[in-house]
Chain A
């Protein structure tokens, strides 16, 4: 089973590293966006099964990461969203996790950053990990 993914992050460096990890885990990268507004457009167009969303991106067209996150959750609750952040604030993490993010990954990425994500994705997409 191919699971499609969309990467939303304003840093091309972070996008490249996330892409690397997701491909290693067996995902197909459908698209990349450099801000939340572009990400939301691609989300609606590509309908990915998985989205990685950076928390700290400059607002564009009045849409920030939290707005995009809540919109995606509302429009497609079955899509798995992994929130990526350089900010290890518990309150921010808890907000996203309480509202349905499947994981909260802290930058910079280490060798094992995506291991908890992999485990959660195996539960989310049993056919993918079979």
Chain B
């Protein structure tokens, strides 16, 4: 089991203490949450990419906010930071550079997914 997935910057994909606490809650809580991540995040990324392509700041803000919230529940700090950066750009109506952040976010989401599937 690998809960130490780290990128070159040394930032863990998910917060191990949060994952541990979710597991200790028992039942299927952690497995269910991981299942939800696997099921929902790809669609949200597709929505976000489409919103960015259209220059739709409202939809971009909403979807980035959702991804930021999802990340927070797992202590996925890098994913949360990137989603938050896109959300803020959308809130300011300045989507310049958001597509580049999106590429990083998509990569980070894959890293978080991998870390979560390892602890499920």
Contacts and interface: CB of A to CB of B under 8 A. Distances in A.
B63 to A, nearest CB: 10
A107 interface: yes
A36 B29 CA distance: 25
Contact of B27 (A14, A20, A58, A109): A20
Contact of A11 (B29, B32, B62, B73): B73
Interface string B1-44: 00000000000000101100110110101001100110010000
Interface string A98-121: 000000000111110000000000
Contact of B29 (A20, A86, A108): A20
Interface in A1-24: 10-14, 16-17, 20-21, 24
Q: How large is the interface on A (under 10, 10 to 19, 20 to 34, 35 or more residues)?
A: 10 to 19
Interface string B65-92: 1100110111100000000000000000
Given A12-B40, A17-B33, A108 B73 contact: yes
Interface residues of B, number: 24
B61 interface: yes
Interface of A is mostly: loop
B21 A14 contact: no
Interface of A: 10-14, 16-17, 20-21, 24, 56, 58, 86, 107-111
Contact of B70 (A11, A20, A109, A110): A11
A66 to B, nearest CB: 17
B29 A17 contact: yes
